[in-house]
A and B are shown apart, each in its own frame.
Chain A
């Protein structure tokens, strides 16, 4: 049976992805709502909205990297 250390490592990895994902979701929901408003008001802003939406994905992606590093080292 795995020890408490293994559990803590798994928990840390889970938190790294989970918290990153929650943060990304929270930010993207705000950006998404504002972006839809912007696109409704002004034409030709789709690119900026798309890029802005992709920016916070960094959080969950780095979370994934960190989780992987935690699990493998």
Chain B
């Protein structure tokens, strides 16, 4: 419960010709965490690797290119079956269509360009024969005109003129004050109007083809997208298998694989592999100084917090797994900060819904954590007696243990927060003693013992001068044992610190107090939450407005109700985020710094059963 599942390191050695069979056996067994072999020569993938990876590259590229989002699981199928299914898809259609679409789009854009050029001249039904003696010009004119040396064709406010090249200067000088702007005359093959209608036809044809091709393409994708995703995922499963021997050690005739299995699974692995290989294989346990990967070993109730621990840092195999403690203290601090019956009920419902719907373990665990936190939020909701920030539940009110909106209540909550902080840190020291004792680091264990004694004694001493209800019990014990005992405890603690950690240890005492005071955030955040909820509740809709049957009053009621609901959603979201993140911080920074190393590798078997 407090440590990881026991592991054995195993080595399987067989003929290198049987590597494919070995991979299949290992995958069938599943629960083995394969490590890169340090024995023999470099590993190499299975022969099927090239086919699998090229199929994967093209399938992934297609998925990305056409943004295929279909969700479907892959299946372990043999390579030849997958290859046949891939071929029957005729994916070359996608490549051909892509090329043709690009071509058509480029044609369409050049047709449009050409139409733009011809647009001004589209009504003109003649051409302009090329001649060395004649020159043409087109311009926008601002007043009517006549030209002696040129033929003029007017259309709208434009004029097209033809004149002998030799008279160029004369023509242009007589156009001064007439021509506003000269226009380029497009090159034509037939007449202006015929060219225009030809290009228009080509554009229509290309646009139709493009539309048809796109329809055909989307039909193809609609029909085949699930098959494409299925094949990609199935090829990925195959790729994992064909890549696995990269971690093996090879000689010309032998191959060997090393990995971690759960201790209880070792004999099963040995029997199944030996049976399949008719004993032409060596399966053995090997000694190793490497740290085994970590596989949690917690009761069902604490399991959602395994994801929480992995999110922070996976516990090492050789240290204590604090999941079970975190399962109690995280929701406790969360509930203490949020503390509201109404919000708690919503959290429990949200948590259960997430747990019910989620397929991913991490999300499902987050739902579990939310449910636990919701339960503690309800418990503290009764403690503060708050229901969506109100101090009564449908007219029912009981006197809270702590009134958070009251100055005295805030002081009590601050003291209670520090008290919980003290207990949390003391638990951290106890776990540190346990960890160090287990590893025979007796001096370190003694140092943590010194810290524990020092912290308890100092809190006993300080409690003498604090007059707050939650410190009365501490004060009571301090009086029973006598104030001298706390003083002796402090002195002994200091002595132990000096002996085990030297003067540096003494410098860390303010650090302990800073950690302790850090727990005051529980009260501060709670207070901020209460104030926000109180502000929202000032918008409480008045039912009397509806009873008056005045339309304006009803609109006011609806508007207030909307703002009221939005306000509570914002308040709850802030509450969840802040309570979650600050409770996480109290664990990651204050609590774990006392005993926790973490940073281990998770046990990731080939296949979980």
The residues of A with any CB-CB pair to B shorter than 8 Å are 47, 50-51, 53-55, 57-58, 61-62, 64-65, 68, 71-72
Query: Distance in Å from the Cβ of A47 to the closest Cβ of chain B?
Result: 5
Closest chain A CB from B361 CB (angstroms):
17
| Contact between B410 and A58, CB atoms less than 8 A apart | no
In terms of DSSP, what is the predominant structure of the interface of chain A? Answer: helix
A51 contacts B524, CB within 8 Å?
A: no
In the assembly, what is the distance between CA of A64 and CA of B520, in Å?
10
- Smallest CB-CB separation from B518: which chain A residue? A58
Report yes or no: B410 in contact with A68, Cβ–Cβ below 8 A: yes
Q: A54-B584, A61-B525, A64-B528 are in contact. List 20 more A-B contacts (CB 8 A).
A: A47-B311, A47-B313, A51-B584, A53-B581, A54-B582, A54-B585, A57-B521, A61-B524, A61-B582, A62-B520, A62-B524, A64-B527, A65-B414, A65-B524, A68-B407, A68-B524, A71-B407, A72-B407, A72-B410, A72-B411
- Let me know if B79 is at the binding interface, CB within 8 A: no
Q: How many angstroms between the C-alpha atoms of A54 and B55 in the bound complex?
A: 45
Chain B residues contacting A65 (CB-CB under 8 Å) are 414, 520, 523-524
Task: Please report the C-alpha to C-alpha distance between residue A72 and residue B585 in the assembled complex, in whole angstroms.
Answer: 28
Q: Which chain A residues lie closer than 8 Å to B524 at the CB level?
A: 61-62, 64-65, 68
25 contacts between A and B (CB under 8 A): A47-B311, A47-B313, A47-B588, A50-B584, A51-B584, A51-B585, A51-B589, A54-B585, A57-B582, A58-B518, A58-B521, A61-B521, A61-B525, A61-B582, A62-B517, A62-B524, A64-B527, A64-B528, A65-B520, A65-B524, A68-B407, A68-B410, A68-B527, A71-B407, A72-B407
Residues of chain B within 8 A (CB-CB) of A47 are 311-313, 588
Q: Which residues of A contact B410 (CB under 8 A)?
A: 68, 72
> A51–B581 Cα gap in the complex (Å)?
8
Name the residue on B nearest A60 (C-beta): B524
The answer for the CA separation of A13 and B517 in the assembled complex, in Å, is 19
- Given A57-B582, A65-B520, residue A51 in contact with residue B588 (CB < 8 A): yes
Contacts of A54 in B (CB 8 A): 581-582, 584-585
Residues of A within 8 A of B582 (CB): 54, 57, 61
Given contacts A62-B524, A64-B524, A68-B527, contact A50 B581 (CB under 8 A): yes
Of A47, A50, A54, A64, the most chain B CB neighbours within 10 A belong to A54
Expressed in whole angstroms, the minimum distance between the Cβ of B585 and any Cβ of chain A is 4
Q: Which residues of A sit under 8 angstroms from B517, Cβ to Cβ?
A: 62
- Chain B residues with CB under 8 Å of chain A are 311-313, 407, 410-411, 414, 517-518, 520-521, 523-525, 527-528, 581-582, 584-585, 588-589
Q: Closest residue to A53 on the B side, CB-wise?
A: B581
> How far is B407's CA from A54's CA once the two chains are assembled, in angstroms?
27
Bound CA span A65–B521, Å: 8
Chain A, residue nearest B583 (CB)? A54
Q: How far is the CA of A72 from the CA of B407 in the complex (A)?
A: 6
CA distance A62 to B519 in the complex (A): 10
How distant is A2 from chain B, measured CB to nearest CB, in Å? Answer: 18
Contact residues in B for A58 (Cβ distance below 8 Å) = 518, 521
Task: Across the interface, name the chain A residue whose C-beta is closest to B522.
Answer: A61
Instruction: State in angstroms the CA–CA spacing of A45 and B252 once bound together.
Output: 42
B313 proximity list for chain A (CB < 8 A):
47
For B518, the chain A residues whose CB sits under 8 A away are 58
Q: Of B520, B525, B589, which is within 8 A of A55 by CB?
A: B589
Q: In the complex, what distance in Å separates the CA atom of A57 from the CA atom of B521?
A: 9
Task: Give CA–CA (A35, B517) in the complex, Å.
Answer: 27
Q: A residues within 8 A CB of B588? A: 47, 51
Query: What chain A residues lie within 8 Å of B311 (beta carbons)?
Result: 47
Q: How far is the CA of A37 from the CA of B186 in the complex (A)?
A: 55
What are the residues of chain B within 8 A of A57 when measuring CB–CB?
A: 521, 582
Q: Which residues of A contact B584 (CB under 8 A)?
A: 50-51, 54
A49 nearest CB across to chain B (Å): 12
